[in-house]
Structure 1
Amino acid sequence: MKKILFPTDFSDTANNALVYALKMAENRNATLYVLHAYEMPVISATANPMMIQDVYKTIELGRFENFKDQVPPIRQIAEKHDLGHIPMHFILEEGYLNSILKKIIKDENIDMVVMGTSGLSGFEKKILGSNTANAISTLTVPVLSVPHDAVYKSINAIAFTTVFDHQDDAALTRLLPIAERNNAVIKCLHVSNDGITEASEVAQTWKQKYSGQPVEFHFISSKETEKSIFEFIDKEQIDLIASVTRNRNFFEKIFTSSLTKKLTYHTNIPVLVYHEH
């Protein structure tokens, strides 16, 4: 059984991403691990030790009660989207989110993390939202980041940005089952002026390897990589963007560039990030 980890703070952004997490779990026959992490406040060392202990106990109890109260609404969201059959496992942890994520990924052998990105207030100031940026750059499993404004719809077209190296090859192999279960096509996109074209040997090798699979190849010669990718996303009506983490600059720009104000589509599209190994 596959395992998907979904960290939540119970916000609208997180609840929006929950639908994607549930759908991804359904798609992969996975259990969804719902995680809420919280940090204890720092209390002055001059305070009475017994008082500090009582304060922490009160906070722990309050957090538990709050978490317990949030479980039914999460189940209601699942039911509302006909996903009530997805097995869910609830985890409440105290500590720093990124450390907890790494621990659970290791201990539970997690396959993927699904996270909501910050709302509109955070987009211009914080790239992807700090938690998601940290997760994308430091976790070892794929991370699906879901923008605040994304509205779940069926995944028909996946854009996969590639430079045709072995890291991309490995990621594309892992992306194929997601495409196949959604009856989606993967549109591999190479944007650069490095001379790699459809006629290039590496492109022909990939075409041959993925022959008969739902994979297309697109080549754009341009120095304006992000602009070309954005235009491709709009033109091809992409539902999911996938890439390997080396393209961190792209992920920064996809949420913060002034281009996002000119193009209609991509700020509402989830981004699936694979990690270089």
Structure 2
Amino acid sequence: MMGSGLSNQAGAAVGALAFPVLGPVGVVAVRQWVAAAILIAAGRPRLRCFTRAQWRLVVGLAAVFATMNVTLYAAIDRIGLGLAVTLEFLGPLTVALLGSRRRIDLVCALAAGCAVVVLTRPQPSTDYFGIALALLAAGCWGCYILLNRTVGKRLPGLEGSAAAAAVSAVFYLPVGAASLLAHQPTVEALMCALAAGVLSSAVPFLCDLLALRRVPASFFGVFMSINPVCATLIGMLVLAERLDPASWLAMAVIVTANAVTVGSSARRERSSLAA
């Protein structure tokens, strides 16, 4: 699980190194193509057998997936890896809070809200558009979780995710091609984009698959909360990013709120199944 988190954020940081040459859209396009190749090989979707209703879900999941990645990478380009990933984690936090009536979850929601205010507080260097992109990525991640659950119920195994990755890759063919033609890619930039695809798609996919065979899904969900910390540390090491003490504290509050909420949500699910 630690390897998955570190690889995912390291891939984003390496991809960010190619932004000056390829731009965020070009890097995301290459990453989507790599992800599609990996998931199609793993899931082997039987596309001709999909019904119209299944295709609607797949296309919706693909659109959310494509939007989530491009808005996250555009946010990384503007506000940095650590802040962008921390704000993006509000997506799964919101999903975990939906429908909750527990007092602890309300406290977590209020704490996370205050932390967001601290992270986005007005400063001379505040990039509000970058913050908006990160929050849009958070919304897309929340939608991705909900859609993925539905797709998982309607399609066996990895077929739904693989098909969505393939459709997303098709979405990016004209956009990615135009971006690559406009930016005149170098070999180094292309290698960074390919590395981002492998590190942020192939390695986390394999690590998560192996981890979920060994640990409960609830513990896995809580442990995923380390991703903002990994992103911030890797951003410091690779991209020379820095956060002030108040931002570190706010990030810690969001990570804690996410961990507590996901953990309590998993316990509620187990209790309802037992009943």
Larger-Rg structure: 1
Structure in which a larger fraction of residues adopt strand: 1
Q: Considering the TM-score relative to the shorter chain, is it more than 0.5?
A: no
Tell which has more relative contact order, 1 or 2 (C-alpha 8 A, sep 6+): 2
- TM, length-normalised to structure 1: 0.25
TM-score w.r.t. length of structure 2: 0.25
